[in-house]
């Protein structure tokens, strides 16, 4: 994989999202799930532009996820919805696909 001239969608994604071990591991995980290319994953700018739910609601939602067998604690991804739960719990319109918590 060349960082000087990215060619595949994944090379472009990796080049634009930093080279930390966590970013790279998360990207490898996503490559397995979505081999044709990256999803339009939210950035912090996207998150900041949306009204978030209260911190206590976020923590309650994430706690429900943490106790679920479908939650990968290393990547913070739900294996059912394929979402990064650190982001998803912030949105008032988000809900759990297996009804552990609901939208507001």
What are the residue boundaries of the structural domains of the chain, listed by start? 6-41, 42-104
List C-alpha distances in Å: 42 to 1, 17, 47, 56, 99: 24, 11, 7, 22, 23
pLDDT given for residue 32 in this prediction: 59
| 10-residue mean pLDDT series, the chain (104 residues) | 54 61 59 57 62 90 95 91 88 90 88
List C-alpha distances in Å: 62 to 4, 11, 17, 35, 77: 38, 31, 24, 27, 11
pTM, two decimal places? 0.55
pLDDT given for residue 1 in this prediction: 45
pLDDT given for residue 82 in this prediction: 86
């Amino acid at each position: 994989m060349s960082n000087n001239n990215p060619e595949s969608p994944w090379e472009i994604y990796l080049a634009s999202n930093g080279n930390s071990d966590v970013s790279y591991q998360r990207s490898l995980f996503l490559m397995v799930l979505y081999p044709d290319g990256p999803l339009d994953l939210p950035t912090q700018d996207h998150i900041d532009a949306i009204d978030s739910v209260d911190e206590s609601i976020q923590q309650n939602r994430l706690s429900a996820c943490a106790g679920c067998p479908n939650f990968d604690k290393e990547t913070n991804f739900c294996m059912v919805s394929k979402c990064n739960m650190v982001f998803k719990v912030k949105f008032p319109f988000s809900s759990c696909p297996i009804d552990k918590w609901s939208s507001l």
